[in-house]
Chains A and B, each alone.
Chain A
Amino acid sequence: MVGEMQSMNTILFYLLAASAVFSALATITRRSPPASAIWLVVSLLSVAGIFGMLGAPFLAALQVLIAAGAVMVLFLFVIMLVDQGEESLRPRIVSFGRVLGAVASGYLALILILAIWKPPFVEAPKSGAAYEAPLTLALAVVGRYALVLELVGVMLLVAAVAAISLAKRDTTAGEG
């Protein structure tokens, strides 16, 4: 029974990880921006699934709610507003950008992986119900990170005001 759960966990992790990476690749390689946006939603949903597997169900739900449900909706709105049709994938300045991009990113990935591939290779320690409960997260947020919480609140207010004032149409008298 325990062995079953283990292997199911592993399969689920590989499935979600493959889905996240594949849809992220699809995001950066589509020609039409709305298609990119849809693939990004799929990627964010897979990442939310991984959050759930990492013992953070509250954060998984928040990821779906905020990233996939609000931010991406905003993205799709703006994309449809400024839809210029399909664009060529070839970057305008660097001529063999695709090959160069792949090589550079491969190199970056290689150095990062070499940095983290160290023992010990251990399983996750047993987490009680206390770790997964939203209560633990809440106590940490209002306890240890209270100042950060307040600052983030102020930042969100500033961002809301900034976004509204930036995107407002200029309707001063005498102009169109």
Chain B
Amino acid sequence: MVTLQHHLILSVALFVIGATGVVVRRNVLVMFMSVEIMLASVNVALLAFSRWTLLPNGQALAMFIMAVMAAEAAVGLALVVAFFRLRRTVFVDEMKLLKG
């Protein structure tokens, strides 16, 4: 039988994988994708709680999170494209204009 804890463990697993991706990878696009994984994991947790308490609040919040996900991807990718035009790199190690 599938309990609430199963879904929460899935959410934790995805969250941790996403966090690892953000920290370990140096390509800003892959970091963004890891953030997407984390957002998906949060949605899973929200929907699981919503299902077990039979309230629609979790579903509504998950919908808003999806909207935020889309907006964040749009703005973030626009920033990446703008920076690429400037310095022709997508590796965060080389994005150090403010350093020093």
B88 CB, nearest partner CB in chain A, Å? 8
B40 CB, nearest partner CB in chain A, Å? 5
Against B, the Cβ 8 Å flags (1 = close, 0 = not) of A139-167 are 11100110011001001101110111011
B62 CB, nearest partner CB in chain A, Å? 6
B54/A43 in contact, CB under 8 A: no
Against A, the Cβ 8 Å flags (1 = close, 0 = not) of B29-41 are 1101110110010
Instruction: Tell me which residues across on chain B come within 8 A of A79, comparing CB atoms.
Output: 29
Interface size class of B (residues with CB under 8 A): 35 or more
Binding site for B on A (CB under 8 A): 6, 9-10, 13, 17, 20-21, 24-25, 27-28, 33, 36-37, 40, 43-44, 47, 50-51, 54-56, 59, 62-63, 66-67, 70-71, 74-75, 78-79, 81-82, 84, 87, 89, 91-93, 97-98, 101-102, 104-106, 108-109, 112-113, 116-117, 121-125, 127, 131, 136-137, 139-141, 144-145, 148-149, 152, 155-156, 158-160, 162-164, 166-167, 169
Binding site for A on B (CB under 8 A): 1-10, 12-21, 23-27, 29-30, 32-34, 36-37, 40, 43-44, 47-48, 50-52, 54, 56-57, 59-64, 66-75, 77-82, 84-85, 89-91, 93
Would you call the interface of chain A mostly helix, strand, loop, or mixed?
Answer: helix
A136 to B7, CA, bound (A): 22
Name A148's contact: one of B2, B12, B64, B66 (CB within 8 Å): B64
A20 to B16, CA, bound (A): 13
A40/B75 in contact, CB under 8 A: no
A97/B24 in contact, CB under 8 A: yes
Contacts A63-B66, A112-B15, A156-B67 known; list 17 others, CB within 8 Å.
A6-B1, A13-B2, A21-B17, A33-B30, A40-B37, A47-B14, A51-B43, A54-B7, A66-B70, A84-B90, A97-B24, A104-B23, A116-B5, A116-B9, A144-B57, A163-B75, A164-B78
